[in-house]
Amino acid sequence: MRTAAIVAFLLAAGAFARAQNPKTDEYVRNHGTTLDIGDQHGGRPLTWEGGGLRAATVEAGAKRSPGAVQFEDVRFTVGPVFVPALQEWIRGALAGAHPTNDVYLLKYKRDGSVDKSTRFPGSRIVEVVIPELKADGQDQARVTVAFQPGAAPELGGAMAAPAPAPPAGLRPLLQNEFSLSIDGINASDVFKISPIRVNIQAGSAPKVSNIVLKIYEHPVRFAAWTAWLQSFLVDGQSDDSKEKTGTLQIGKPASPAFVCSLKGLGIVRMSPLPAEPHGIVAYEVELYCEGVTLGADASAPPPPTVAPPPVAPPPLKGNAEDKGARDPADVPRFPDSVRTSFTSSLSRVQSEEKAEYVTAAAVDKVATHMADKMKELGWTLGTREETGSERDGTYRLDFRWDREKQKQVARLTLGRTKDGSTTIWWQVTTGKR
């Protein structure tokens, strides 16, 4: 039996040797290699490694012999789409169910028929790596999975037929299409999330690595982060009831392709990042996480469906009540708004202007007006993010516009407060980008 297993491994190793070729992605595209999970299509492996056999050397005096055979983990990265069969396998693993599947690595001929197949019987996932996400990223976000075969890999493993192709219309995961929400925290200023590793071992709950975020210091929203740090870490209010929950989405907000719920979040570090030439302050924040589940958390209570009664906004007296020196240049001002502050800074490489306003108009009316005026002024919309709820006064709309020739970036934040008024915050940066 041991001899047969080793022979099977040696044959299978030839297929995996291709993963060491630096042109792995090109090989996959040209030759059509896919991964099947049971009888379902599991995605296209862009890289893969492992799948070997090993045994410890047992010594008895001068006599040596191989010990029990162990199967090496197989690690692969899939892309560009996150197919349903792989989602279901990962979902079960993150939930602690430890599902097993026969996994097939298939190499196709140019006519579409299977050329070679390698079977990894009774495999279970031992690690999932959620990819790095960043607002300025241009690459695809690729999920990495490691699984442990339950028996020796088999070249030409039996299967009735290749799995069917994945459903049409699946969108690729992109690094810069993500959103993070955390209870009681507006996380819209997070611009980078380091890879999140989840180690999954039989007989124990999945273990999640700490989550490292990079976040801009917004003049209003950042206060919630420092308040959490003060109460949770400094004041010691860190029991289970003070931990938070969150949701990470990859994809378009209206139809995300990857959604995971984060449980038991606690803040353990906040460190300032080196100052940037343009003067924007940013921090690195580290959180521990006690659990990750794939998909919406069914145990979470649904949001209330009954809206609170409307509250009349406070009367506004108009521009005569303005504070601060002036309005920022090159961006529109909403009519009937009151300016509450203005600051500016100038360096050798760039200038920055910030201003805050308040108005009785609805958020959507302000957003429409600003979008139309910015287009007229030659700005190009880069991003639009919507977070929070009007019910508890955390609703926010965040925009970013660019003017490439002028080397300008404009950020607009609109918020709806509990008293019914709308807050407007502008930040305009001109110069080095």
Same domain, 258 and 377: no
Same domain for 150 and 192? no
Q: Which two tokens stand for residue 193?
A: 């999330």
Q: How many domains does the chain have?
A: 3
Q: Are residues 270 and 399 in the same domain?
A: no
DSSP letters spanning 101-161: EEEEEEEE-TTSSEEEEEEEEEEEEEEEEEPPEETT--SBP-EEEEEE-SS--EET---SS
- Provide the whole-model pTM: 0.62
The CATH number of the domain holding residue 379 is: 3.30.310
Do 18 and 144 have their domain in common? yes
Residue whose tokens read 């996400």? 133
* pLDDT tens string 413-424: 999 877 778 999
Q: Are residues 28 and 150 in the same domain?
A: yes
Question: Both 149 and 42 in a single domain?
Answer: yes
Do 324 and 420 lie in one domain? The reply is yes
Query: What is the domain extent for residue 35?
Result: 2-86+94-128+140-155
pLDDT recorded at residue 13: 46
Look at phi and psi of residue 231 and say left if phi exceeds 0, alpha if psi is from -120 to 50, else beta. Answer: alpha
126/124 Cα distance (integer angstroms): 6
The answer to whether residue 163 sits within a structural domain is no
Task: Name residue 244's beta-bridge partners.
Answer: 265
Q: Which residues of the chain have pLDDT under 50?
A: 1-3, 5-31, 158, 160, 296-318, 433
Q: Which residues of 36-71 are buried (b: 16+ CB within 10 A; e: fewer)?
A: bbbebbbbbbbbbbbbbbeeeeeeeeeeeeeeebeb
- What pLDDT score does 298 carry? 34
Burial (CB count <10 Å: 0-12, 13-18, 19+), residue 189: buried
Q: Is residue 419 part of a domain?
A: yes
Residue 183 confidence (pLDDT): 92
The fraction of the chain above a pLDDT of 90, given in percent, is 33
pLDDT at 80: 67
Q: Looking at the structure, tell me whether residues 204 and 68 fall in a common domain.
A: no
Q: Are residues 194 and 110 part of one domain?
A: no
Residues 345 and 238 in one domain: no
How remote is the C-alpha of 154 from its chain's centroid? 35
